[in-house]
């Protein structure tokens, strides 16, 4: 699958209001062509108007709501979403849920979440998973592929093993990107740099705070785009 390098950076619009999201999109201009919108914006009541606005402005949209419900409900939700012009969406469930989503995805690309980058081994132990993070991620990746999903969301720490054990056609979107050293107050625990993510096999990266909190978000995005181009 051919991917435009400029599309490989997905900016996470993790802001409380749609008006602020639009301000950031305008400020970033052509430095970012792909945006992720998640649960915080969903709670505003204007989520789908923002999705439509982004599509109308020729932006790709990653609807990150981590759908999790009975398979029939998931399939209906994915079918409706496929008609809105979104590019990616996420599912966070077992194989039957993934299969249901894949059956109704149309042109929408479905990504299975492997293990959230805010979780480490201690968190998985607390949740009752009787395997290490890497084993869980590989298992989820293989199930996603066999279910008809287009790709997965996975930490850069597991990319080498995913690429060696799972078909190369599986798309990998990697969050938890930190261009600088991770800070103690950051809730992301399994992180990598821009360069590490692509060197290890990511197709896309998701970046939020390192751009949003920069003195100049556009300059920060442009630096990341330059790093992507140099790495690839």
Domains of the chain (ranges; CATH) run 5-231 (3.20.20.70)
N residues, the chain: 232
Mean pLDDT of the chain: 88
Over 90: is that where the pLDDT of 40 sits? yes
**Which residue pairs from 105-108 have beta carbons closer than 8 angstroms and sit at least 24 positions apart in sequence?**
105/78, 105/150, 106/79, 106/82, 107/82, 108/78, 108/81, 108/82
Compute the distance between CA of residue 99 and CA of residue 129 in angstroms, rounded to an integer. 22
Hey, which bits of 77-161 come out as E strands? 88-91, 109-113, 151-153
pLDDT at 130: 55
pLDDT at 74: 95
| Residue 168 DSSP code | T
Whole-prediction pTM value?
Answer: 0.89
Compute the distance between CA of residue 45 and CA of residue 62 in angstroms, rounded to an integer. 18
pLDDT at 132: 66
Query: Which residue is catalytic, options 22, 60, 66, 189?
Result: 66
Over 50: is that where the pLDDT of 183 sits? no
Over 80: is that where the pLDDT of 123 sits? no
pLDDT at 187: 47
Q: Is 226 exposed, middle or buried (0-12, 13-18, 19+ CB in 10 A)?
A: exposed
pLDDT at 121: 56
* Highest mean pLDDT, choosing among 9-23, 109-123, 159-173: 9-23
Active-site residue 76, yes or no? Answer: no
């Amino acid at each position: 699958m051919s991917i435009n390098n400029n599309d490989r950076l997905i900016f996470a619009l993790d802001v409380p209001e749609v008006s602020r999201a639009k301000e950031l999109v305008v400020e970033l201009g052509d430095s970012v062509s792909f945006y992720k919108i998640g649960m915080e914006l969903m709670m505003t009541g204007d989520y789908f108007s923002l999705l439509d606005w982004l599509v109308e402005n020729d932006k790709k949209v990653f609807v990150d709501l981590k759908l999790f419900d009975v398979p029939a409900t998931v399939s209906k939700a994915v079918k409706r979403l496929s008609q809105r012009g979104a590019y990616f969406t996420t599912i966070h469930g077992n194989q039957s849920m993934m299969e249901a989503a894949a059956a109704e995805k149309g042109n929408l690309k479905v990504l299975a979440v492997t293990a959230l980058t805010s979780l480490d081994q201690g968190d998985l132990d607390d949740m009752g998973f009787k395997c290490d993070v890497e084993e869980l991620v590989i298992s989820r990746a293989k199930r996603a592929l066999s279910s008809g999903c287009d790709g997965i969301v996975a930490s850069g720490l597991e990319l080498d093993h995913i690429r060696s054990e799972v078909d190369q056609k599986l798309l990998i979107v990697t969050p938890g990107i930190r261009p600088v050293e991770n800070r103690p107050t950051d809730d992301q625990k399994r992180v990598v740099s821009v360069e590490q993510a692509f060197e290890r096999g990511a197709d896309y990266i998701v970046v939020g705070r390192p751009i949003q909190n920069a003195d100049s978000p556009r300059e920060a995005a442009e630096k990341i785009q330059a790093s992507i181009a140099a790495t690839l």
